[in-house]
Amino acid sequence: MPANGWVEEEVEFHTLDSACSIVLGYGRQAKALMPAEMRDAVRAEAQTMCPLYDESCT
């Protein structure tokens, strides 16, 4: 395992929606790096979830 604790993997998904669901299912243990479209979709979904748990989220 790398010193930073992260392992980089390349995986294929059938759809952007399924990719986002799977990445979000790993919580803070996974990070979408690319393509930018998937990374942006994961970020957008996480931002919409934040107010459910923290009223200070905007």
Residue 1: per-residue pLDDT:
57
CB 44 within 8 A of CB 22: no
Which residue type does 14 have? H
Which residue type does 39 have? R
pLDDT per position as a tens digit, 22-58: 999 999 899 999 999 999 999 999 999 989 988 888 6
Whole-prediction pTM value?
0.78
Residue 21: per-residue pLDDT:
93
Residue 9: per-residue pLDDT:
86
Extract the tokens encoding 5.
């604790």
